[in-house]
Structure formats: structure tokens, C-alpha cells
């Protein structure tokens, strides 16, 4: 299924409603993500950022609306075709989600073994290359339990990059990291956009990080269960369209009018 969206719009979310069972978490979500940009999903705790992300990475079918990936209607495609589209996705979860019984190198090799016909020597070279990209070559034979939080995140990123995805999804990549490590991860994310042209969708609470890296975004409101602002985090900080967004972007406490 195709759509006539402009080519630079790699992802389009159209009138999407997401939720669990009978419960609607967000509705009327509309935005596009440009190729080679960093797009932020913003909003207070519990507004539905991770839920929306889950509907974008294939974990949670939306209740209504469409999600287009390069013009293809993801959720209206067959399961097999969704898997094919998903080959273009790399995902880094908050926990980094590395398999604890495997070394870092084995963790990164796994998607290559599962989804490609590459020889084991080629896989080994790619594992070294991806680890080099995130500055973790030295960790190839270590187990996740031997790594710090920041190291785990970088190794998780190397695994997310294993299949050269065009689109990367990050759920709270800097959670639990100190400011310096978090800044390094930001630099790495920006390098992926600028060096490889990767398109990135990110959920984060780290405002300094969002101001530094995100080109565009959407702000979800828990109370009305719908997006209330669109734009880059910097734009929303400097020109907030409403009090709630202003308070969030300036770390103030907002109370919904009764
Ligand atoms: N598996 C689930 N089943 C039912 N409800 C869920 C499930 N996961 C999350 N929720 C609910 O959906 C709402 C949105 O949660 P979600 O994790 O998407 O918010 P969030 O904006 O990512 O929050 P945070 O910033 O705190 O991580 C919350 O009320 C949460 O309790």
C-alpha cells in the first residue's frame, strides 16, 4: 500500500489512536518525520510517549489511524511485509536490553546471524566495525554485567546498528547516565544523523539533550490525551504555544485549570 507523501517524509503518523484494550492513551496524533532528522516525542510522565513508540516499532497495533514508512502503510501491511519494513528499524530501549548470557560481541552478532547470510568472518568484522563506531571495541569479549550503564547503552546502540537501519528508535537513551556520558551519547546520536543520514525518533525527558539534538517533535498531553504542540524542543521552549508546554520546557510545575 502506498501513499503520495513527499519523499523526504520518511515516516508519517496520520490520525493515530494508541492505547491498551479499551483504554485510549493518545488520539488524533499527526506528524511527519523527515529523512535524516531527529524527532522527539515529548510530554510529561505517563502521557503516552512509550506507547506511541511501541506502535511505531511494531509492538502495539494502533486502535485507529495509519503509520506510513516510506509511503507504505505499516499496520495495514501483511505480517511478513511488516517484518520486512522492520528490517529498516533499529531500536534502543532504556535498559539497553542486552542478553546477559552472551558477550557484547555475541549480542551484536545475533541479528546478523538471524537476518543475513553473511559468513562468520564477515559477521565478526561487522561486529568490530559497529563497536568501533560507538567507541566500545575493547568490550567485545565482556559480558553485560561487566559494563557500566553508559557502556551498556553504547553496546545496545551498536547492536541496534548491526543491520544498518535507516531509522533508529530510542526510548530514554540517557536515563540513568551522568551528564558527561549523556552528552557523549548525544554526540553519537548526532553523528549517526550527520554521518550516516540515519533518521531518529527519540523519547527523552532530558531537556538539555533534546534542545541540543532534536530537529522537530511532538508534545503529548496526558489530560486531553492528544498532541498539543508540534515543533523542535528549542522552538517550543522559546515560543511555547501554551502554558503547559512553557512550564514543561522551563521545568516548572503546571497545573491543569479545573
Ligand atoms: N502494557 C500496558 N498496559 C496497560 N496500560 C499501560 C501499559 N503500558 C503503559 N500503560 C499506561 O499507559 C499510559 C502511558 O504510559 P507510557 O509509558 O506510554 O507513558 P510515557 O509518556 O512514556 O511515560 P514516562 O515518561 O513516565 O515513561 C500510562 O498511564 C501507563 O500506566
* CA 130 to ligand 1 centroid distance, Å: 32
Q: Dig out the grid coordinates for 226 from the structure.
A: 492528544
Q: Is the ipTM of this complex over 0.85?
A: yes
Mean pLDDT lowest for which of 9-18, 88-97, 133-142?
Answer: 88-97
Among 59, 80, 84, smallest CA distance to 70 is for 84
> Kind of pairing, strands 9-20 and 64-69?
antiparallel
Query: Binning pLDDT at 50, 70 and 90, where does residue 133 land?
Result: confident
Q: Tens of pLDDT along 225-250?
A: 999 999 999 999 999 999 999 999 88
Q: How far apart are CA 106 and CA 113, in angstroms?
A: 10
Residue 65, C-beta contacts closer than 8 angstroms, at least 6 positions apart:
13, 14, 15, 16, 17, 29
Among 154, 131, 145, smallest CA distance to 100 is for 145
Domain that holds residue 158: 94-164
Query: Binning pLDDT at 50, 70 and 90, where does residue 96 land?
Result: low
- What residue's CA is closest to ligand 1, atom 5? 20
Position 105 in a domain: yes
Position 115 in a domain: yes
Total domains, the chain: 1
Among 149, 184, 189, smallest CA distance to 168 is for 189
> Kind of pairing, strands 216-221 and 226-230?
antiparallel
Position 155 in a domain: yes
Other Cβ atoms within 10 Å of 22 Cβ, number: 6
For ligand 1, is residue 20 a contact (CB within 6 Å)? yes
Q: Strand order of the sheet with strand 226-230?
A: 89-92, 167-171, 199-203, 38-42, 216-221, 226-230
Compare 94 and 167 and report the one with higher pLDDT.
Answer: 167
Q: How far is CA 150 from CA 29, 155, 157, 179, in A?
A: 32, 9, 11, 11
For ligand 1, is residue 46 a contact (CB within 6 Å)? yes
Position 51 in a domain: no
Position 240 in a domain: no
For ligand 1, is residue 48 a contact (CB within 6 Å)? yes
For ligand 1, is residue 49 a contact (CB within 6 Å)? yes
Position 75 in a domain: no
Q: How far apart are CA 226 and CA 219, in angstroms?
A: 9
Query: Binning pLDDT at 50, 70 and 90, where does residue 29 land?
Result: very high
For ligand 1, is residue 47 a contact (CB within 6 Å)? yes
* CA 241 to ligand 1 centroid distance, Å: 25
> Kind of pairing, strands 23-34 and 226-230?
unpaired
Position 145 in a domain: yes
Q: How far apart are CA 143 and CA 126, in angstroms?
A: 19
Tell me which of 41, 49, 53 to substitute to probe ligand 1's pocket, judged by most ligand atoms within 8 Å of the beta carbon: 49
Query: Residue 14 in contact with residue 28, Cβ under 8 Å?
Result: no
What is the model's pLDDT at position 222? 93
Position 99 in a domain: yes
Average pLDDT over residues 46-73: 95
Amino acid at each position: 500500500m502506498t501513499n503520495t507523501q513527499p519523499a523526504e517524509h520518511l515516516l508519517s503518523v496520520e490520525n493515530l489512536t494508541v492505547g491498551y484494550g479499551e483504554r485510549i492513551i493518545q488520539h488524533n496524533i499527526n506528524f511527519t518525520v523527515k529523512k535524516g532528522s531527529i524527532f522527539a516525542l515529548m510530554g510529561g510522565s505517563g502521557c503516552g510517549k512509550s506507547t506511541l513508540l511501541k506502535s511505531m516499532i511494531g509492538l502495539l497495533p494502533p486502535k485507529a489511524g495509519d503509520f506510513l514508512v516510506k509511503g507504505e502503510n505499516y499496520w495495514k501491511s501483511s505480517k511478513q511485509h511488516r517484518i520486512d519494513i522492520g528490517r529498516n528499524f533499529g531500536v534502543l530501549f532504556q535498559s539497553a536490553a542486552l542478553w546477559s548470557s552472551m558477550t557484547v560481541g555475541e549480542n551484536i552478532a545475533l541479528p546478523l546471524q538471524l537476518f543475513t547470510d553473511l559468513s562468520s568472518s564477515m559477521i565478526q568484522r561487522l561486529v568490530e566495525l559497529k563497536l568501533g563506531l560507538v567507541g566500545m571495541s575493547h568490550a567485545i569479549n565482556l559480558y553485560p554485567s561487566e559494563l557500566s550503564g553508559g557502556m551498556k547503552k553504547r553496546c545496545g546502540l551498536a547492536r541496534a546498528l548491526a543491520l544498518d537501519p535507516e531509522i533508529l528508535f530510542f526510548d530514554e537513551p540517557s536515563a540513568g547516565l551522568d551528564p558527561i556520558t549523556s552528552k557523549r551519547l548525544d554526540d553519537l546520536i548526532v553523528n549517526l544523523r550527520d554521518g550516516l543520514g540515519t533518521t531518529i525518533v527519540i523519547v527523552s525527558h532530558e531537556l538539555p539533550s533534546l534542545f541540543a539534538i532534536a530537529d522537530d517533535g511532538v508534545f503529548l498531553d496526558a489530560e486531553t490525551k492528544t498532541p498539543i504542540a508540534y515543533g523542535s524542543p528549542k522552538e517550543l521552549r522559546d515560543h511555547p504555544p501554551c502554558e503547559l508546554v512553557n512550564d514543561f520546557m522551563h521545568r516548572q510545575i503546571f497545573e491543569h485549570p479545573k
